[in-house]
Amino acid sequence: MVDSENKFDVIVLGAGPAGLAEGYALKSAGKSVAIVENYQWGGTCPNRGCDPKKILLSGVQARDRVEQLQGKGFSSVPFVNWSELEAFKETYTSKIPSGSRNGAVSAGITAIDGDPEFISDDKIQVNDKVYQAQNFVIATGQRPSQINISGKENLLTSTDFLSLKAMPKKITFIGAGYIAFELATIANSTGAEVHIVHHNDRPLKGFDKQYVDELIKQLENRGIKFHFNVDTNAIEKNDQGYTLKAKNFSLDSDLVVGATGRIPNTDKLKLDKAHVEYSAKGIQTNDHLQTSNKRIYAIGDVLDKNEPKLTPVAGFEARYVADILNGKNDQAIVYPAIPTLVYGSPELAKVGLSTIDKENSDQFHVVDQDQTKWFTYYRTNEHVAKAKIVFDKDEQIVGATILSNEADEVINYLTTAINKKMTHDEVVNTIFAYPTPASDLQYLL
């Protein structure tokens, strides 16, 4: 028998952006809700992901803005003091776990701390207590993966990097995805010698190759060194630091960060006991985000899905499942166009269709614009500003790739234009404040 106080309409596993959004949406609709978290309330994004990274980047971006204006009012590039910047970041992150937990409790959600394990189709056990629910929502996210090489225990993760107390003189990243590009830019701007080692020659492979090559060129100009087609097979510790070893290749550094992807947190949940199917890529669901056990849903990064694993996508899925469980929706999930962005200086962003090949070249065409001399970028003396816009036969924008320091802002406007199917005339007849990246839109679309 399960005590009545341990019975809920819905139990959510994981208190990250997905799990918390789910809990709040269900609670405000009158359901009894518990959330179980086994580590830091708030999850990856505010504790060890998006937010701390972006705080560190704020210092980097301020420095870079001054660097661009050398000889145009400034004569030296400021030194970014890593320890102070990191301490500033800590003033934000240190409040997240308690703030997130207290917020949930204040909203009337039952907060449970510990490792949940399914013991049947409708019950879990946490710290020797059994809890029962009509429905479960699994939102346990992902964690850094570790490459299986000799000396892998010598590798730091992105989480370790974001809390370094001192920036080393020389740092190496293995992998060249979002995390390596972003953290390498931060390390470079705070004075470190930075190397990126990648196993093939196609980093950021979801992005337009020409623009990735241009981004690499910009980062090389800043002093970041790329080593492509290097398959790391060992990290050896020595008196000075660490040596990365590969065939005919060796690189010494003070620290080495593994940034070769992330893996779903499914292993501790005893999913088999609840008949929930999953793969190495995450929990498998139907188009209603329902697992192989009809009373259990999965949302956020823990899903095995094609959509990018990002915070706003996790929130979208949480609201969708809440609507299903609140009886407001029974349709399959339909995702809007989702923008993705590699932060740094410059930023690389994309939404929708990014490239077209011979097979679909009669249905789409691409306009590639070098904006570097446009007023928006001229006034800040940007090194590069480019935009590749994909149009369909009706001249409707269906995709874009942007490379500039304003890419985050521009990609959001273009995402709206794609989702709202805005025509060129609708854009031109919208009065945007001038001069801003928004007022450039009439020349882009």
Ligand X SMILES: Cc1cc2nc3c(=O)[nH]c(=O)nc-3n(C[C@H](O)[C@H](O)[C@H](O)COP(=O)(O)OP(=O)(O)OC[C@H]3O[C@@H](n4cnc5c(N)ncnc54)[C@H](O)[C@@H]3O)c2cc1C
Ligand Y SMILES: NC(=O)c1ccc[n+]([C@@H]2O[C@H](COP(=O)([O-])OP(=O)(O)OC[C@H]3O[C@@H](n4cnc5c(N)ncnc54)[C@H](O)[C@@H]3O)[C@@H](O)[C@H]2O)c1
Q: How many CB atoms lie within 10 A of CB 3?
A: 10
Q: Which residue's C-beta sits nearest to ligand Y? A: 177
Burial of 392 (0-12, 13-18, 19+ CB in 10 A): middle
> Which is closer to ligand Y, CB of 244 or CB of 427?
244
Distance CA 246, CA 97 (A): 40
Q: Could you tell me if 387 and 369 are in contact, meaning their C-beta atoms sit under 8 angstroms apart? A: yes
Burial of 437 (0-12, 13-18, 19+ CB in 10 A): buried
Query: How near is the Cβ of 248 to ligand Y at its closest, in Å?
Result: 16
> Which is closer to ligand X, CB of 72 or CB of 268?
268
**Rule CB under 6 A: which residues touch ligand X?**
13-19, 36-40, 43-45, 49-50, 53, 115-116, 139-142, 158, 179, 265, 268-269, 300-301, 309-312, 314
Element (H, E) at 418: helix 407-419
147 binds ligand Y (CB under 6 A): yes
Distance CA 180, CA 158 (A): 9
When CB distances are held under 5 to 8 angstroms depending on the partner's kind, the choice from ligand Y, ligand X, none that residue 100 binds is: none
> Which is closer to ligand Y, CB of 296 or CB of 303?
303
Query: How near is the Cβ of 311 to ligand X at its closest, in Å?
Result: 4
Q: Could you tell me if 353 and 206 are in contact, meaning their C-beta atoms sit under 8 angstroms apart? A: no
> Which is closer to ligand Y, CB of 27 or CB of 195?
195
317 binds ligand Y (CB under 6 A): no
174 binds ligand Y (CB under 6 A): yes
Nearest to 261 by CA among 176, 350, 138: 176
SS (H, E, C) 255-319: EEEECCCEEECCCCCCHHHHCCCEECCEECCCCCCECCCCCEEECHHHECCCCCCCHHHHHHHHH
Question: What x-and-dash track marks residues 384-423 binding ligand Y by CB under 6 A?
Answer: ----------------------------------------
> Which is closer to ligand X, CB of 38 or CB of 430?
38
| Binding region for ligand Y (CB under 6 A) out of 112-120, 195-203, 284-292, 396-404 | 195-203
Query: How near is the Cβ of 430 to ligand Y at its closest, in Å?
Result: 27
Locate 159 and state its tokens: 């989480």
The residue to which tokens 């996508």 are assigned: 313
When CB distances are held under 5 to 8 angstroms depending on the partner's kind, the choice from ligand Y, ligand X, none that residue 64 binds is: none
When CB distances are held under 5 to 8 angstroms depending on the partner's kind, the choice from ligand Y, ligand X, none that residue 164 binds is: none
Distance CA 43, CA 300 (A): 11
When CB distances are held under 5 to 8 angstroms depending on the partner's kind, the choice from ligand Y, ligand X, none that residue 346 binds is: none
The residue to which tokens 């107390």 are assigned: 165
When CB distances are held under 5 to 8 angstroms depending on the partner's kind, the choice from ligand X, ligand Y, none that residue 147 binds is: ligand Y
> Which is closer to ligand X, CB of 51 or CB of 440?
51
Binder among 36, 162, 179, 418 for ligand Y (CB under 6 A): 179
Site for ligand Y, rule CB under 6 A: 147, 174-180, 182, 198-199, 203, 232, 259-262, 308-310, 340-343
